[in-house]
Structure 1
Amino acid sequence: MSKLIHVAAAAIFNESGELLLALRNSKQHQGGLWEFPGGKVEPGESAHDALTRELHEELGITIDLAASRPLIQVPYHYPDKSVLLDVFRVNRFSGDAYGREGQPLKWIRLSELPNYQFPAANKPIVNALLLPNAIAITPEYSTEALLEDGQMSESCLTELADQYGRFVAQAMLNGADAIMLRAKHLDNSVQLALYTQLAERFKSRPIIWNTSIEAANEAKVPVIHLSSDRLQQLDRQGLNGRDLFSGRWLGASCHSLEQIQQAERVGVDYITLSPVQQTPSHPDTAPLGWDEFTRLVSQTRLPVYALGGVSLDNIDTAIHVGGQGIAAISGFRC
């Protein structure tokens, strides 16, 4: 394997919320593609120092480290070279950015990001910028009191949807950027009906359905999350979930390095990693702890959500150690 090249890069935002992209010279490795500005970390240099130096040399700007935070670390192996991208989100800087080395620059809206072509190693950076930071996972609501003669009537379904809807509304008020419908105790048809109602009612937030690829494709659902069992089944069959899934975002639940590696082979876009801390629902399961979470995050190029005993109070910690954010159930109830 070739020597690993350590690179510090930045997703730079201006006061208007636009993102800066730079075009690689056609003679460079992966030339002609857009990239996030930055450069090599020199021996003995920290990633922060390298980023400050490189952005001044390349763009003529001085970044405000107090308004910068880690975005994602991406270890990536090309056939001819290996890189570790240490990527930061820069929200404030001084100076007017221009291509000091003659490279074309462009400020774009974040929603336009999928329209641009990047080197393969940059795909996780694009995903990290577009994915939410806080996911609220629905609790399990019992249906026993709602069933009429053991059947789920239309009125029962409406009442059940209202229960889930109240949780979603409260979670949004408490800061959830996205909602995951996890209702494995319900029939697939009931889950789909719930998903449809929630997606229609809460159009301002992505609704993620925890289900199978087959069910999601049939219903044309854009965002799904695979259980660790479904993830392992795909990996055992040698299938690429990203190729099979027709929607936009494919996530998966992971609990170990082995499962993280399975997620990478299957081609998911993001993962949850749990349990980070002790949870009342799984009192006998030993938590990973933040040190182990940090170590596992450093082993993958995927955006990672901390799950298990976490809340919005932990989101800065999760992001600081390289995670995408947090996912929680009880953390959004209060």
Structure 2
Amino acid sequence: MTSPSRSIHVVAAVITDARGRILLNRRTGNSDMAGLWEFPGGKREPGESSEQALVRELREELGIEAEVGEWVMEVPQLYPDKRLRLEVRMVRQWKGTARGREGQAITWVNADKLGRYSMPPADLPVVAALHQPECYLVTPDAGGGAEGWLAGLESAIDGGLRRVQLRTPAAADRAELARTAVARFGRQAELLLNRDIELARELGVGVHLGGEQLLQLDARPLPGSQLVAASCHDLAQLQAAQRLGCDFAVLGPVQATASHPGALALGWGGFEQLRERVSLPLYAIGGLAPADVVTARRHGALGVAAIRSLWPALQPA
């Protein structure tokens, strides 16, 4: 794909009402991607701040005077005719009654129903950021044996982690340990088994695919009720993950790591260049910690995935 010369910065709002519903705008027949639903907003003009642009756009589109709230994320997205950067802000307070002033339909949607609406590629990562965990634990492959590993997993989940890739210790009976982990913690967190599709199907949990597995599969390996994720390191793997209908992917390494000493680090610039070519929710991985979530979201990630910085026994005292 030839990179387009036109770059635009769009500011959009996640507008919530007293019931926690979120407002979506439907693109009209005269616009790009007509018929798709999106978070309302528009292009930031020269000389405008993001706040000024969003206030103006919401006044023009919806007839409301908005109080712009906290920053959510930024999504770089490459379209055939432009390179877009979507900046997203929360709006919880406004004056007036929202209505489609430009002839567009609007609707209020419960947050857990957003996935039912067809949306432009840049808006899809935002939906993920609104209700999916910002940290994804990858359990270490060794240390403390089976009981020590289970104790570490319990501590991590008790500490608030809600999405975990289970890589069981090599010395253990991996299938039996996975069954134990699912029995103990499957109601408290989203668990995904590393690579083992058949065992994931048996246990009713998710699977996390390796990059080479992606290229060997012709269809999503589990039903929609079970999460499917993947580790990706290049564009071909990302595109395969999207084609298979993966729920999210992990992309990296962003920085050099001890666990993959020979891997070439992408850096945040390299991460963005891959991020903008797919619409999948992505976690950044590689030398990152919870403190890097904001940075990750500035480059279009849902959050960070990590081993060392999220596993209690490996964190500095």
TM range (shorter): 0.7 to 0.9
Q: Which residue of 1 aligns with 2:164?
A: 179
Q: CA deviation at 1:16?
A: 5.6
Q: Deviations over 1:205-258 (max 9, x none)?
A: 22222224343334332x321111212322xxxx132xx421343211012233
CA contact (8 A) 1:47 1:86 kept: no
Q: Deviations over 1:306-329 (max 9, x none)?
A: 112111111111011211100111
CA contact (8 A) 2:162 2:188 kept: no
What is the TM-score when the length of structure 2 is the normalising length? 0.77
Q: Which runs of 5+ in 1 are unaligned?
A: 146-159
How many correspondences in the alignment? 304
Matches within 5 A, 1:317-328: 317-328=295-306
Pick aligned residue for 1:255 from 219, 229, 233: 233
Q: CA deviation at 1:71?
A: 4.9
Q: CA deviation at 1:89?
A: 4.1
Q: Which residue of 1 aligns with 2:61?
A: 58
Aligned-residue RMSD, C-alpha: 3.6
Matches within 5 A, 1:197-208: 197-200=183-186, 203-208=187-192
Q: Deviations over 1:255-313 (max 9, x none)?
A: 22332233233332211112222222233433222232233223322221111211111
Matches within 5 A, 1:34-49: 34-39=37-42
Does 48-57 or 284-293 show the bigger shift? 48-57
Counterpart CA distance in 1 for 2:236 and 2:48 is: 32
Q: Deviations over 1:60-92 (max 9, x none)?
A: 233426x12325344467xxx889572514254
Q: Which residue of 2 aligns with 1:266?
A: 244
Counterpart CA distance in 2 for 1:33 and 1:259 is: 27
Asked if 1:245 is matched to 2:222, the reply is yes
Q: Which residue of 2 aligns with 1:301?
A: 279
Q: Which residue of 1 aligns with 2:195?
A: 211
Asked if 1:287 is matched to 2:290, the reply is no
Q: Which runs of 5+ in 2 are unaligned?
A: none
Counterpart CA distance in 2 for 1:24 and 1:69 is: 22
CA contact (8 A) 2:250 2:285 kept: yes
Q: CA deviation at 1:15?
A: 6.2
SS of 2:73's equivalent? strand
Q: Which residue of 1 aligns with 2:75?
A: 72
Q: CA deviation at 1:49?
A: 5.8
Q: Which residue of 2 aligns with 1:140?
A: 141
Counterpart CA distance in 2 for 1:310 and 1:277 is: 8
What is the TM-score when the length of structure 1 is the normalising length? 0.74
Q: Is the alpha carbon distance of 1:196 and 1:58 closer, same or farther for their aligned partners in structure 2, counting shifts above 3 Å?
A: same
Q: Which residue of 2 aligns with 1:232?
A: 215
CA contact (8 A) 1:61 1:97 kept: no
SS of 2:207's equivalent? strand
CA contact (8 A) 1:294 1:321 kept: yes
SS of 1:233's equivalent? coil
SS of 2:230's equivalent? strand
Matches within 5 A, 1:143-158: none
Does 301-310 or 67-76 show the bigger shift? 67-76
Higher-helix-fraction structure: 1
Q: Which residue of 2 aligns with 1:112?
A: 113
Counterpart CA distance in 1 for 2:235 and 2:50 is: 25
CA contact (8 A) 2:68 2:89 kept: no
CA contact (8 A) 1:226 1:253 kept: yes
Q: Is the alpha carbon distance of 1:292 and 1:24 closer, same or farther for their aligned partners in structure 2, counting shifts above 3 Å?
A: closer
Asked if 1:276 is matched to 2:254, the reply is yes
Asked if 1:163 is matched to 2:148, the reply is yes
Q: CA deviation at 1:50?
A: 4.7
Counterpart CA distance in 1 for 2:266 and 2:247 is: 22
CA contact (8 A) 1:5 1:40 kept: no
Q: CA deviation at 1:123?
A: 4.6
Q: Is the alpha carbon distance of 1:187 and 1:55 closer, same or farther for their aligned partners in structure 2, counting shifts above 3 Å?
A: farther
Counterpart CA distance in 2 for 1:192 and 1:76 is: 42
Counterpart CA distance in 1 for 2:68 and 2:126 is: 21
